[in-house]
């Protein structure tokens, strides 16, 4: 019998990279540090998945949103087949939306404080964290070019 229902795309059918490298060290360090902490704290738990630089497809008709990191609870950390995720497709993850998203603002902001925040809220993401490297002479040591990091926390949309 012919099945008239359209099938949903898989991660192999959808783009899984935007081919854009991260543009500052914090975009790599912060998500990996947070993931390492969770791996230590939840060593015996396997009901969570933290994606780093993975696209999140929340609607098969829309492009992915690309947080620097996200956390989904109630999703197996490892797949039964041993394959790693190329992207996070909500419909392949028992419709579990990420509960938390992290955005490190790039040199060229990409809507982290408005467009992306609205999308995350509409998706049902409970916590959204964004951070940005800012130069501020008050926080520099004499002769140092070190930056301070400021964070904006958004929670419980």
What is residue 29's three-state secondary structure? helix
> What confidence score (pLDDT) does residue 24 get?
74
Query: Is it the case that residue 157 has pLDDT exceeding 50?
Result: no
Distance of CA 105 to the CA centre of its chain: 13
Mean pLDDT of the chain: 80
In this predicted model, what pLDDT tens digit does every residue of 13-39 receive, in sequence order? 887 666 667 777 888 888 999 999 999
| pTM score over 0.85 | no
Find where tokens 């999703």 sit. Answer: 75
Task: Specify whether the CB–CB gap between 67 and 84 falls below 8 A.
Answer: no
Kindly report the number of other CB atoms within 10 A of residue 134's CB atom: 11
Q: pLDDT per residue over 72-87, tens digit each?
A: 999 999 988 888 999 9
């Amino acid at each position: 019998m012919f099945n008239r229902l359209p099938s949903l795309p898989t991660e192999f059918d959808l783009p899984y990279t935007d081919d854009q490298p991260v543009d500052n060290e914090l975009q790599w360090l912060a998500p990996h540090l947070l993931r390492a902490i969770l791996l230590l704290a939840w060593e015996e738990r396997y009901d969570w998945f933290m994606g780093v630089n993975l696209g999140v497809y929340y609607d098969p008709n829309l492009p992915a949103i690309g947080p620097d990191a996200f956390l989904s609870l109630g999703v197996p950390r490892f797949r039964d087949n041993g394959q790693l995720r190329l992207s996070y497709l909500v419909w392949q993850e028992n419709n579990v939306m990420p509960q938390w998203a992290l955005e490190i603002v790039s040199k060229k902001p990409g809507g982290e404080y408005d467009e992306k925040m609205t999308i995350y809220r509409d998706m049902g993401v409970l916590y959204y964290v964004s951070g940005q490297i800012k130069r501020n002479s008050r926080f520099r040591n004499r002769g140092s070019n070190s930056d301070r990091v400021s964070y904006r926390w958004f929670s419980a949309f």
